[in-house]
Homo-oligomer: A and B are copies of this chain.
Amino acid sequence: MRGLMQDWPMLCHRIIDHAAMVHGEREVVTRSVEGPIHRTNYAEIRARALKVSQRLDREGIALGDRVATIAWNTWRHLEAWYGIMGIGAICHTVNPRLFPEQIAWIINHAEDRIVMTDLTFIPLLEKLADKLPSVERYIIFTDKAHMPQTALKNAVAYEDWIAEVDGDFTWKTFDENTAAAMCYTSGTTGDPKGVLYSHRSNVLHSMMANNGDALGATSKDTMLPVVPLFHANSWGIAFSAPAMGTKLVMPGAKLDGASVYELLDTENVTYTAGVPTVWLMLLQHMEKQHATLPHLKVVICGGSAMPRSMIKAFDDMGIEVRHAWGMTEMSPIGTVGALQSYYSNLTGEAKLDILQMQGYAPFMVEMKITDDAGRRLPWDGKTYGRLKVRGPAVSGAYYRVKDNILDDEGYFDTGDVATIDQHGYMRITDRSKDVIKSGGEWISSIDLENLAVGHPMVAEAAVIGVHHPKWDERPLLIVQLKQGNTATREDILKYMEGKIAKWWMPDDVVFVDSIPHTATGKILKTALRDQFKTYSLPTAAA
């Protein structure tokens, strides 16, 4: 028997409708790419998003068409976002920090018909335009006064473009499983893979994010997402903030410590979200200026692990740090590290131990850890396993890729290796392709790297598994020393001794001039594995 409640499809534009009706005067403040601070509100954002929809409709963009954005966090980007989705087109956020050839590959794979972009990225796109046959026109997020000369096809200033319509338009309606947005992940190997969010998944993710233990901002809060809209929907904040009526502060192109600090301070921001690099710059700026942020309540930190010293720095200022973990394939929230009641009375190092974990899954994310054979492993905080996830905002497939990416229980393998404790707190210990499998046991390359960089002479460290006749694989530590410093193999190993299990100790240490990185700043272990493919460990001969 079916229930008799209303059929009310979860569509993204219902979020901005709600914001405009109930929180219409709540501000959206942006450091514009042109320079000045710009102020608008949710009612105006909705009105202009409707113009975007109407103008796209006139342009011939329809249900299922892809429209790319390569842009900073601004009010115009937010309007375009809802405007694109509001007619059932797909908002494809492209990360401008990728290598140009990756950007071209992604736009071609998505077959984007329109590219909306900031002044910042015109030179980049002018170089690529010849290789982008599907793109019919470029819309530049600016006005006539700031519009430059450009060879980009049918280029037009956004303000001129939307001025051609009157906004008397109604959102289209369609099934809630319709694709709403698209974001490519670029790993260290293979082609980028397209994640295709649905209206349903975006709406559910925003509701999940708005519980008090996840992002948890309210209508009285002000949120500054430093994390860009092109990073998995800025962790969903472009949906969750308007759904709650949270005031939004958008940092535009300036993500340095001084600029972020200024906005946090002048706009009385209470919640902010971003990656560790951003917080490092902010903390350095604040230390230099002896600055404080009395209004700031919560810092959400994801993207990569937050150093303990950084957690402590915020905690010492009375600012709650919530370590978050997720991935593009998860919309992206997987876990958030708010303190559960069991841990809420902890102080000092014990508290930092918990805050340094990646947190626990909110309702609608299901997690398990398994061994290589897929058998579930216990949640004891010690046992490592492959981290697998399930939920309505988790990928079930990639765009135009036939491979089945789910196991027989419907879980997606995150590619991470993790422990989970009895309260569901998860700790990433490694990437599954980087973990070193020594005699059937797993050694975390990340733990060894984190330990090695603690040595005062070490600038950066990478650990890879190298073939070993007896143990299958053993860890090789690759070290880049700080400029002008020296250290021996023995110095490094001695430093590590006693701090980890004996069988975890690297079998050898090699020194290199530089460690290779991906476009997004991660260690390129595939290159290191190639380089040391035939490396013979001293222990292998024994």
Contact = CB atoms under 8 A, between A and B. Distances in A.
B198 A339 contact: no
A195 B338 CA distance: 37
Given A207-B363, A212-B212, A424-B21, A390 B8 contact: yes
B361 A197 contact: no
Contact of A196 (B4, B18, B218, B398): B4
B424 A3 contact: no
Nearest to A181: B3
Nearest to A411: B6
A526 to B, nearest CB: 26
Contacts of A175: 2
A394 B3 CA distance: 11
Interface in A326-368: 331, 338-342, 344, 360-361, 363-364, 366
Interface string A2-25: 111111101000110110011111
A284 interface: no
Contacts of A245: 213, 340
A500 B424 CA distance: 58
A172 interface: no
A424 B344 CA distance: 36
Contacts of A15: 363
Interface in A168-225: 175, 177-180, 195-201, 204, 207-208, 210-213, 216-220
A68 to B, nearest CB: 15
A467 interface: no
A90 B3 CA distance: 10
Given A244-B363, A363-B18, A179 B4 contact: yes
A163 B406 CA distance: 37
Which of the four size classes fits the interface of chain A?
35 or more
A471 interface: no
Given A217-B212, A341-B247, A390 B196 contact: no
Contacts of A22: 360-361, 423-424
Contact of A3 (B6, B8, B198, B423): B198
A391 interface: yes
Interface in A405-460: 406, 410, 412, 422-424
A90, A212, A331, A410: residue with the most chain B Cβ atoms closer than 10 Å: A212
B6 A391 contact: yes
Contact of A211 (B6, B244, B392, B397): B244
A410 B397 CA distance: 34
A23 B379 CA distance: 13
A474 interface: no
A220 B392 contact: no
A393 interface: yes
A410 B197 CA distance: 27
Interface string A358-398: 00110110100000000000010000000000111111111
B18 A179 contact: no
A10 B399 contact: no
A47 B474 CA distance: 43
Contacts of A5: 196-198, 200-201, 331, 392-396
A452 to B, nearest CB: 34
A64 interface: yes
Interface string A37-48: 000000000000
A510 interface: no
A2 B244 contact: no
Nearest to A8: B392
Given A244-B212, A247-B341, A397 B4 contact: yes
Contacts of A501: none
B342 A25 contact: yes
A213 B243 CA distance: 11
A322 interface: no
A201 B177 CA distance: 17
Contacts of A542: none
A312 interface: no
A70 to B, nearest CB: 21
18 contacts: A2-B177, A2-B198, A4-B179, A4-B399, A5-B393, A5-B394, A8-B410, A14-B363, A18-B361, A22-B360, A26-B341, A204-B207, A211-B212, A212-B212, A212-B244, A213-B245, A220-B339, A243-B363
* Interchain residue pairs A-B with the least CB separation, the first 7: A3-B198, A22-B424, A1-B64, A5-B201, A8-B392, A212-B218, A4-B196
Interface of A: 1-8, 10, 14-15, 17-18, 21-26, 63-64, 90, 175, 177-180, 195-201, 204, 207-208, 210-213, 216-220, 243-245, 247, 331, 338-342, 344, 360-361, 363-364, 366, 379, 390-399, 406, 410, 412, 422-424
